[in-house]
Amino acid sequence: VLLKGKNLKESFIKFMVASTVTIGSLLEIMAYAFLIPIITDLENIAYNNGNVEETAILIAKRLVASGVIVIGQVALSKTLTKVLKKLS
């Protein structure tokens, strides 16, 4: 019984380590997804196709959304790291 419990604990720790990397990568991709459209916004401003004030507000919203995801990623990674340390 103790051997099975130990094996289960080791398997869970390995799973958590793998999921931490996967979740971190996924959240990084999501953060970049908010930044990519900024390129077209800047292009619209450069070619005088858009309102500068509206575009600036849109860019600011996208930067804030990206920042929120990055902060969430850091918090989640730290939390999972603490859980893994307690389990080890």
pLDDT in tens, 63-81: 999 889 889 888 888 888 8
pLDDT given at position 1:
65
Angle separating helix axes 37-46 and 2-35, nearest 10 degrees: 10
The reported pLDDT for the residue numbered 61 is: 93
Comparing CA positions, the residue from 10, 26, 6 lying closest to residue 84 is 10
Taking alpha carbons only, the member of 30, 27, 33 closest to residue 74 is: 27
Segment 46-66, tens digit of pLDDT: 888 878 899 999 999 999 998
Where residue 3 falls among pLDDT bands split at 50, 70, 90? confident
- Per-residue pLDDT reduced to its tens digit, 22-46: 777 888 888 888 888 899 888 888 8
Torsional class of 15: left (φ above 0), alpha (ψ -120 to 50), beta (otherwise) = alpha
